[in-house]
Amino acid sequence: MKIAILSQDSSLYSTRRLKEAGEAQGHEVQIINYLRCYMNITAHKPTIMYKGKPLEDFDAVIPRIGASRTFYGTAVVRQFEVMGVFSANDSQAISRSRDKLRCLQLLARKGIGLPVTGCAHATEDIDGLIESVGGAPVVIKLLEGTQGIGVVLAETHQAAKSVIEAFRGLDANILVQEYIKESQGADIRCFVIGDKVVASMKRQGLEGEFRSNLHRGGKAEKIKLTPEERSTAVRAVKAMGLGVAGVDLLRSNHGALVLEVNSSPGLEGIEAATNIDVAGKIIDFVTKSAIQVKNRADSQY
């Protein structure tokens, strides 16, 4: 099979591992910098050009779109979809997952457990907003932050108000969330492929740090999920319409709460913590799904 990995940087661990895993299974794998793709939007023969040559005969793509490149990256994925190529994550689902508010609204609609979360536009409404999630301490997040950047714990009402005013003064969109104290600086990353959790790890933030992101110095270890956590993670990914995703959960006094669903989950942390060949499992999923999609399309004729 011929597989494209859409990635800006071929030296990244996740990108390298996917290529390696695909080749180990006998596939032809090409890493494509989607920022260098240009497209011809025509009905009869939609194409994608890459460094002067058309990209042809691909059976599947695995998008690894950077958070700051969502607009162009999803446009390239969409063009592959128009050309009938299977994508591990579809372009719409990637866009959905990039906005924390949109993501939580979709999960809420499916009845998935979330921390109590609020959002407001006008600074006149800040007091009400903080009270609506149960009052301080609260967590304030930029809607499009990643890797723990733009996530702030405000211990008091006054601190929360100042932070929200500062963000809104910069015209940044934010959400405000109840602080789940009992999670004690730890969260759980569930790596979901299709309708299964294939690997999971607990991440613990540095001493005195409430954010557990590995990019913020958090440490990871393998963890066994409860059946409830497992099904919550799978339902969350399904609600988002993703094929491959990382679901972040907090263990709260009233069960597993979903923090976010990530459409380009890193492989390095999870493979190191669990010793599971997650890249190989992604390739399995993508190749099987591509064949199914192709058979379905063929049977329509």
Q: Exactly one of 40, 123, 147, 292 binds ligand ADP (CB under 6 A); which one?
A: 147
Question: Taking CB within 5 to 8 Å according to partner kind, which of ligand ADP, Mg ion, none is near residue 86?
Answer: none
Residues in Cβ contact with 49 at an 8 Å cutoff, skipping those fewer than 6 apart: 37, 38, 39, 40, 55
CA distance 151 to 79: 33
> Is 248 a binder of Mg ion (CB under 5 A)?
yes
Which residues sit opposite 192 in a β-bridge?
Answer: 197, 245
> Is 74 a binder of ligand ADP (CB under 6 A)?
no
Min dist. Cβ of residue 27 to Mg ion (A): 31
Using the rule CB under 5 A, give the single segment among 132-140, 174-182, 231-239, 244-252 that binds Mg ion.
244-252
Question: Taking CB within 5 to 8 Å according to partner kind, which of ligand ADP, Mg ion, none is near residue 66?
Answer: none
Query: Per-residue x/- mask for ligand ADP, residues 219 to 258, rule CB under 6 A?
Result: -----------------------------x-x--------
The strand order across the sheet containing 2-6 reads: 28-32, 2-6, 60-63, 86-87
Q: Exactly one of 210, 243, 264, 287 binds ligand ADP (CB under 6 A); which one?
A: 210
Question: Taking CB within 5 to 8 Å according to partner kind, which of ligand ADP, Mg ion, none is near residue 287?
Answer: none
> Is 211 a binder of ligand ADP (CB under 6 A)?
yes
Q: Exactly one of 187, 229, 271, 277 binds ligand ADP (CB under 6 A); which one?
A: 187
Cβ proximity of 4 and 61 under 8 Å? yes
> Is 97 a binder of ligand ADP (CB under 6 A)?
no
Retrieve residue 140's tokens: 């304030």
Using the rule CB under 6 A, give the single segment among 35-43, 84-92, 168-176, 177-185 that binds ligand ADP.
177-185
> Is 177 a binder of ligand ADP (CB under 6 A)?
yes
Cβ proximity of 174 and 168 under 8 Å? yes
Which residue intervals of 86-226 are DSSP H helices?
Answer: 91-97, 100-109, 126-132, 157-169
Residues in Cβ contact with 158 at an 8 Å cutoff, skipping those fewer than 6 apart: none
Q: Exactly one of 12, 259, 267, 286 binds ligand ADP (CB under 6 A); which one?
A: 259
Count of CA atoms in the C-beta half-sphere (13 A) of 44: 0
Distances (CA, A) of 214 to 131, 203, 206: 31, 7, 9
Residue 55 has what DSSP assignment?
Answer: -
Written as one string, the DSSP assignment of 70-82 is: HHHHHHHHHHHHH
Residue 224 has what DSSP assignment?
Answer: P
> Is 134 a binder of ligand ADP (CB under 6 A)?
no
Min dist. Cβ of residue 212 to ligand ADP (A): 4
> Is 180 a binder of Mg ion (CB under 5 A)?
no
Site for ligand ADP in 99-128 (CB under 6 A): 115
Which residue intervals of 188-277 are DSSP H helices?
Answer: 227-240, 268-274
Using the rule CB under 5 A, give the single segment among 23-31, 157-165, 172-180, 245-253 that binds Mg ion.
245-253
Q: Exactly one of 7, 89, 95, 213 binds ligand ADP (CB under 6 A); which one?
A: 213
Binding stretches for ligand ADP (CB under 6 A): 115, 139, 141, 145-148, 151, 177, 179-180, 183, 187, 210-213, 248, 250, 259-260
Residues that bind Mg ion (CB under 5 A): 248
